[in-house]
């Protein structure tokens, strides 16, 4: 039997981020892993165009949630690669 891990149980993911992820069809850790942090971030940016979504609180936090680490512990090279994959131009 598989256990579904709610997003808010993951490191870096609070209720607001969880609700926004639910809005793009991501409801569990498995969903987030399947989509990936960069794609999820792009979908969030598209869905919440009129909202500021800081890269550290969203893109890096999503990756950190998948890795089980605080977003600030993600190596700079990984952050640069994530930013590139997410289409962030102001690296």
What ranges do the domains of the chain cover?
7-86
Single pTM value for the model: 0.88
Quickly name the fold that domain 7-86 has: DNA polymerase; domain 1 (1.10.150)
Q: What is the pLDDT of residue 3?
A: 61
CB 64 within 8 A of CB 70: yes
Looking at residue 4, what is its pLDDT? Answer: 75
67 near 58, Cβ under 8 Å? no
The answer, yes or no, to whether residue 2 has pLDDT greater than 80, is no
Stretch 33-44: mean pLDDT: 96
Range of weakest confidence among 6-10, 34-38, 50-54, 69-73: 50-54
């Amino acid at each position: 039997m598989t256990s579904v891990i709610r997003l808010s149980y993951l490191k870096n993911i609070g209720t607001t981020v969880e609700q926004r992820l639910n809005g793009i069809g991501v409801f569990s850790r498995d969903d987030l892993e399947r989509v990936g942090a960069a794609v999820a971030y792009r979908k969030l940016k598209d869905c919440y165009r009129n909202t500021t979504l800081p890269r550290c609180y969203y893109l890096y936090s999503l990756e950190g949630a998948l890795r089980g680490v605080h977003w600030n512990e993600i190596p700079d090279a990984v952050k640069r690669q994530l930013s590139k994959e997410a289409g962030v131009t102001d690296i």
